[in-house]
A and B are shown apart, each in its own frame.
Chain A
Amino acid sequence: MINLAGRDILYGWGKFVFTGLGLGLLIGVTLSMAGIYRGLVDDGRVLLQNGGADLWVVQRDTLGPYAEPSSVRDDAYRGLLGIRGVAAAGNVTYLTMQIQHQRGEVRVMLVGFEPGHPGEPGYLVAGRPITRAHYEAIADLRSGLKLGERIRIRRHEYTVVGLTRRMVSSGGDPMIFVPLKDAQEVQFLRDNDALVNERARTAANPAFNRPGVPGLLEAVQASQASSHNVNVVMLRLAPGADEAVVAREIRRWKHLEAYTRADMDEILVAKLIATSAKQIFMFLVILSIVSAAIVAFIIYTMTLNKVREIAVLKLIGARNRTIAAMILQQALGLGAIGFIVGKTAATLWAPIFPKYVLLLPGDAVLGAILVLAISALASIVAIRAALRVDPATAIGG
């Protein structure tokens, strides 16, 4: 038996190929959506890995520092170092902001860290670590910054001395690492008007302006102009220490929250990315429905255009099965073309996405199965129409 579906496709290939292309782009978008989700999760994992920390200590009752704001005194680390099993501690701040560079502006997550302590960027792809106490920065490649480039963050200029890869916030903003003191200043720095305003308010408060206590007002005002808070203290544990035990100790004695890497993973993936994931899932559902509608519509019109041929085939003895198989094969063929186009497109355009797109082979296989299943489902309407065709119509009136 000849392959009727194949012959029909070859005969009307133009319509078929163009529909396949359109469907393919849609499938490409769908695969990219899945890739973006995978990318989000992977970015989160890499972020946790590269900090080199075993425990994240944040403000009590918060899911900090990535999912909720968290504020911890920057001297809390001393007490934490005293807990058995803690080998190293590092203060870290996070702040999302716009920064200026020579060629324009970029949205980044500014990370303040202490060189040599947990929280410093895991590895550099170019340049060197920060060696000076101020005004040096390590930037992620995604920011587009280059070694030696000068960037402006609030009032000061920084020099990019090192570059990292895959260090982005959960929102996809590239990270810029600067010394902790600089970051703290940026984070809590007020503009001049606000400073003057604040000073005036403090000065007007009789409590700070008591006769007989010289210097009190000045001391209070100085303390207000700088910050002693960080967002998280990252801990590295001694070999053999049990992170769950240490975390429990911290919760009990320090009035702080401590998260293990597994906890952080859960917070990042299940909570922080959850909304994005749901959104992406919604898109996946809608795109699947649209794809199904396209396949159904095209296969249905192709079938209606063949009613006469189908009637003749039935009249001369073709089985219903033969005709159903012809239509099913065409739907599957359309799905297959669409998938190949979509996979190719998704692979080609993944690098130009601003966010990291991770195309997993497993997702592609699942996608292929889904596309074929949807195509098969979409052909049902057409198959039913074809089976209803009466062979008597071939003889006519």
Chain B
Amino acid sequence: MTQPAIEISGLTKRYGEGDAAVDALKGVDMIVQPGEVVGLIGPSGSGKSTLLKCLGAVIEPTSGRMALAGETIYDNGWKVSDLRALRRDRIGYVFQAPYLIPFLDVTDNVAVLPMLAGVSNAKARERAREMLAALDVGHRAQAQVPQLSGGEQQRVAIARALVNRAPIILADEPTAPLDSERALTVIRILNEMAQRFGTAIIVVTHDEKIIPTFRRIYHIRDGRTYEEAGEARAA
């Protein structure tokens, strides 16, 4: 039996202290298998971004446990020493806006990740071009970022999230700026990539159009998660 890619139990996060304290997460449980794309849905302020930040190792949870591929990374305290390497090698990020680096061309925007991990420039660019081709933007590899359309930029951002073959991708409202056709394309691509590379993907969204595409959905309300089988599964 394969290990779940993501396993979270009893995760809490409190911002601030005393009277000003905000309990953003009050007990989150979540399991995502490799190759699975799950939706994370909830009203504004319910703790979606906070959960992604904890999982993405950019903020520290208050208590609970998180494991990636069976390896505990957090158990009432970080269990890995190099969070930077964890972020670089094991987690890919896709944001609401592509947040590409404007002074690098398309290839280097993707190649910078393996380069940061110490891969040679030539190898890193080769990997980047492969990944761009897989996302159907191979023909734009030489272009400058501002020359790309919004949809193309988002694909480049996904290529960047995938290029290190990170087993997990965290996507915070990746379709928000896109029209419904492009939004659906992005979700289709994420599904394809999950299949192809066995990546576990969590997609935070408000977007009514794409909600039906998820097989499994986590609802989050007031800092707690509730699991629900998605409509796609029911169909």
A362 near B: Cβ within 8 Å? no
Report how many residues on chain A are interfacial, defined by Cβ distance under 8 Å: 25
Q: Which of A7, A317, A318, A392 has the most CB of B within 10 A?
A: A317
Q: What is the CB-to-nearest-CB distance from A391 to chain B, in angstroms, rounded to a whole number?
A: 5
Partner of A395, one of B53, B84, B115, B117: B53
B117 — which chain A residues lie within 8 A by C-beta?
Answer: 317
Q: Is the CB of B108 within 8 A of A394?
A: no
Q: Is the CB of A397 within 8 A of B49?
A: yes
Interface residues of A in 372-397 (CB under 8 A from B): 390-392, 394-397
- Given A2-B104, A8-B103, A10-B103, A390 and B87 contact (CB-CB distance below 8 Å): no
A316 near B: Cβ within 8 Å? yes
Partner of B58, one of A2, A8, A392: A392
Q: Is the CB of A2 within 8 A of B121?
A: yes
B96 — which chain A residues lie within 8 A by C-beta?
Answer: 396
Q: What is the CB-to-nearest-CB distance from B217 to chain A, in angstroms, rounded to a whole number?
A: 21
Partner of A316, one of B49, B59, B88, B108: B88
Q: Is the CB of B93 within 8 A of A395?
A: yes
Q: What is the CB-to-nearest-CB distance from A305 to chain B, in angstroms, rounded to a whole number?
A: 10
Residue interface bits B115-148, CB-to-A below 8 A is 1, else 0: 1110001000000000000000000000000000
Q: Is the CB of A316 within 8 A of B113?
A: yes
Q: Is the CB of B103 within 8 A of A312?
A: no
Q: What is the CB-to-nearest-CB distance from A393 to chain B, in angstroms, rounded to a whole number?
A: 9
A317 — which chain B residues lie within 8 A by C-beta?
Answer: 84-85, 87-89, 113, 116-117
- Given A390-B58, A395-B52, A7 and B87 contact (CB-CB distance below 8 Å): no
Interface residues of B in 91-119 (CB under 8 A from A): 93, 95-96, 99, 101-104, 108, 111-113, 115-117
Question: Which residue on A lies nearest to B118, using beta carbons?
Answer: A1
- Given A316-B112, A319-B84, A391-B58, A396 and B95 contact (CB-CB distance below 8 Å): yes
Interface residues of A in 118-164 (CB under 8 A from B): none
Q: Is the CB of B108 within 8 A of A309?
A: no
A12 near B: Cβ within 8 Å? yes
A4 — which chain B residues lie within 8 A by C-beta?
Answer: 103-104
B84 — which chain A residues lie within 8 A by C-beta?
Answer: 317, 319
Q: Is the CB of A308 within 8 A of B99?
A: yes
**CA A2 – CA B116 in complex, angstroms?**
9
B56 near A: Cβ within 8 Å? yes
**CA A7 – CA B108 in complex, angstroms?**
10
Residue interface bits A351-365, CB-to-B below 8 A is 1, else 0: 000000000000000
A19 near B: Cβ within 8 Å? no
Q: Is the CB of A392 within 8 A of B108?
A: no
B155 near A: Cβ within 8 Å? no
**CA A53 – CA B52 in complex, angstroms?**
87
B36 near A: Cβ within 8 Å? no
How many pairs, one residue from A and one from B, have CB atoms within 8 Å of each other in the complex?
Answer: 75
**CA A395 – CA B87 in complex, angstroms?**
13
A294 near B: Cβ within 8 Å? no
Q: Is the CB of A392 within 8 A of B59?
A: yes
Q: Is the CB of A1 within 8 A of B102?
A: no
Chain A residues touching B, majority SS: helix
Question: Which residue on B lies nearest to A397, using beta carbons?
Answer: B49
Q: Is the CB of B103 within 8 A of A11?
A: yes
Q: What is the CB-to-nearest-CB distance from A394 to chain B, in angstroms, rounded to a whole number?
A: 6
Q: Is the CB of A2 within 8 A of B85?
A: no
Q: What is the CB-to-nearest-CB distance from B128 to chain A, in angstroms, rounded to a whole number?
A: 12
Q: Is the CB of B104 within 8 A of A7?
A: yes
A316 — which chain B residues lie within 8 A by C-beta?
Answer: 87-88, 93, 112-113, 116, 160
**CA A185 – CA B13 in complex, angstroms?**
98
A71 near B: Cβ within 8 Å? no
A322 near B: Cβ within 8 Å? yes
Q: Is the CB of B58 within 8 A of A322?
A: no
Q: What is the CB-to-nearest-CB distance from B60 to chain A, in angstroms, rounded to a whole number?
A: 10
**CA A8 – CA B112 in complex, angstroms?**
14
A315 near B: Cβ within 8 Å? yes
A313 near B: Cβ within 8 Å? yes
Q: What is the CB-to-nearest-CB distance from A314 to chain B, in angstroms, rounded to a whole number?
A: 8
Q: Is the CB of B112 within 8 A of A2?
A: yes
Q: Is the CB of B112 within 8 A of A309?
A: no
- Given A390-B58, A397-B49, A2 and B102 contact (CB-CB distance below 8 Å): no
Q: What is the CB-to-nearest-CB distance from B187 to chain A, in angstroms, rounded to a whole number?
A: 19
- Given A317-B116, A317-B117, A394 and B103 contact (CB-CB distance below 8 Å): no
Partner of A309, one of B52, B58, B102, B111: B102
Q: Is the CB of A395 within 8 A of B49?
A: yes
Question: Which residue on A lies nearest to B82, using beta carbons?
Answer: A317
Partner of B108, one of A2, A12, A312, A396: A2
Name the 5 nearest CB pairs between A and B, nearest first: A317-B88, A11-B103, A392-B58, A8-B103, A7-B103
Having A11-B102, A317-B87, A396-B172, one finds 10 other A-B pairs with CB under 8 Å, namely A1-B116, A2-B121, A315-B87, A317-B88, A317-B89, A391-B58, A392-B58, A394-B93, A396-B49, A397-B49
Interface residues of A (CB under 8 A from B): 1-2, 4, 7-8, 10-12, 308-309, 312-313, 315-319, 322, 390-392, 394-397
Show 16 A/B contacts (Cβ-Cβ < 8 Å), sorted by A.
A2-B121, A10-B103, A309-B102, A309-B103, A312-B101, A315-B87, A315-B93, A317-B84, A317-B113, A322-B116, A390-B58, A392-B53, A395-B93, A395-B170, A396-B49, A396-B96
